Chains A and B, each alone.
Chain A
């Protein structure tokens, strides 16, 4: 009864679903409606359900049925799989199959290109390619398709990979008859990134610019959709609005970029599916907190060649550790319950996919999750789980057959079926020819043995008594073999296999050219029981720990149990209290220097300063004997470019106020640690000086080990970089750069007037709009003004919510900016560099602006020829608030020495000099309520020096931030030892790898780039001159 029902149902469905085509056929059509039955197979009907000895029935590209002991219809073509495995085809959501590959990245050549070079009614920026639709250019690529099918893939999402907004991708089956039948979903997902790709337009030239452009595009698209009265038609924005509701895939390619994307997503309420980079395990808790889905590559680094010990020094501990730990990346996603799928993207050699998949499993990924990440998860991410991702009735017949479990090292994909269309890689019904044979020739008898794996047995021939290799090929029951009789004589032969007699008959040729007949007969069986591998035995991988930050001088978390909610607090010994005893204390309160005093810190704050404070009775308290040492407030660098990623200058436009340094903080820059060793506790990370209106700054504390967001100074006021003079005029950039306005100091003034005027109007527009009631808006159909990130920031300056730090050299321009500010009713906060400040010290005092200067730099370009090292002293004596800054990763480690130059040049007192790098910059940055002096109630950002802090002989012994010790010479010695040990341990592993014959490559010694004011991403510093 049941059987009949099944049959009826089958007939019913098969009739209903016969497909039709619009294409005429030349001759009679080939349409068959055969049923294929795969029997005796181990079938994974989904990632977690294995049917042993099961049967799979398919017809017309769909699954008819699957299960144990199914009745095989009589008209079915039957394949007896004899214990082989069937898996649902893998799905790759990040493929370039069938679409044109990403073009070469942008290179600067020739003069600037300020506008898009794309003709037509498109948007202003070439990197916004929202109108690109991959399905329109999709063509079958058989070679690539076969390569992917051999790895188990059946369906891929072919992605556009060019630009910041990249358009839509197409979901296709691999290598079905033609494109029309390949496409499953025409617009399956929208694609985004921070990288402008092949765009030749200058903007954006940095990561921070890429982020800003994407954000502005979202805002523009909202405005474009809502504003009915607009006069502008814009293909790019129109297309953007059309793709924005598709699943959104963001190419992060790096743990920090992933998080940056997550942040943008949050702003616009988009849940990105993030294409990961492979280093996410290094910040897996933050990745988890993002609550997004991920597409994870299996691009594990190639082993380094470390045989030459001097060359090996250039490979960093972080690179070594990444080599060791990268294969744990997928497992970390699983362990932290992050939804993810796997991709073959980023593999230089796609053949490594299965090898690396198995490696990931060896490194902790469960087989179940691995399958899920290749089948159900990608299907679910695109909402096509009702079409594919498992082997259930009515789903597409997308599956592959492998000789054994796909996680087995010897497993190969033998056949791939996509939408019912087979691709055969190897014969599933190869006869088992293993055994001992006798090869009879008219002259002689030889012993021949075939043994080993059934799909490709090894072969040996015994000539006289010596065993030699028998090289052979065997397919379709035909064998070809050859062997060496002695060193020069090769015998060759061809023959046919007879399965019934288990023998080969054929013809051979002797080395001298004479022909002969042969017969090779089965004699006895060989041992075919595969050796019971000690499979169950877990290999001890002996892996190192993840360090925070993942760089030299990082440290592992103290214990690895569970996920820390407040993880960064675990990095350093968390002291509840610190008592520093018997120090000379440079308080910065007036000129008070207290000898033999104690400072008591509780919960990060200074609570008492006195003589002979009793040792605290609190748990986790630390007492530091500071006899003979000097305690000062932490050094604050008003002008720094460390700890930033991919560019400090967004200099393509004369104004880039929309970019934010806070978006591109790199908390793992080793210069953070190096500067801690010079007593720096706080720094303002500034945009460069390539344009009159630069980007928004970030004020950070040097909390080494913490995440980027945790480095930011809490609730700091907003600052923005402005710049004047040669850099913004592009004077030293070569003759090609004479196009961008302004090219003279005259133009700079007018640029400011223009921006402030526009920002004022923009601000008024918003103010009046915000006063309208929803009713009025509705009634009069008033559209909201367009949100302009650039003018937002400028308007904030006018509203005294954002403050200017202006790069400046020559007195005329300093004077000019103060006048511009006065005319718009605000004050300039700080002039930085300000090397001719001494010439207008009285005017600066009157304006109330601070000065942040170099101690003694000059002569590097024309506008600094009248710079004098007495600048800081004159300005100080004139009552201007003065600091000394670094603009340089090296100099920042010894800002105390730079401050001392104001004693030498101009005769400031030692206390006045120390304030140049502590209290005064704190005032400039509006953080002197908390830091900058040693005072009860203030935050304990402190430095303990071995000597008078203004002396060249003083070394920072301990650097304390928020009452925690972030740098300590003793700890430093331990960390050095740890780097040595950790390196040696991994290098020993690498040497073993090389001896085992693993592929190795020369160490590259990757480094963070050192940034200065004038550094332009992608351009050599030589070209842009100095500072």
Chain B
């Protein structure tokens, strides 16, 4: 059996006294895309934030390569190789595209020129706009920049929080295409998404969260084909 890169084991976590995640467990294996879907308020983003140490975990464990990193501060988590792209405000709007990428490499300050070239090859749109401020980019380009920034370090895993929220269908398609390209570079991805159909279509596995706990787990294609899930979370049955 493959050892997971990241695993969340029986997590209970929330904001202050309010518990959002109730006994939640999930894991991400090497070289796979895992989607987390569910209704609003199900605790999808909270699950990601619990990995980053952004909220208090009262019970359970977060493990990276089997090592306990529960409640580790975000800056240290990033240093350990977990890269995170928040849903909104995910680029430094007053910095140029290239400066944003350089900031992404803060914990890996060597070989930045080579890494920049790799990112520009993976995200060609950004190469043309390297001297523009991030605030002048379109929504889709900002998401691309946010992902490239997160990949400037040697990421062991990439956590994406609703990367297509508020984007046009054209950009949504581009983002999911890019996510598949990133997977080919060997970086596993945990993606929280509202566009459940598209997310499951590109994912190896998926988790359906309801009220802060796992409701369904399985291969992306199996979850897509499941009638109950389709009727409850994917906007109708087949």
Does A pair with B?
no
A-to-B contact residues, CB < 8 Å: none
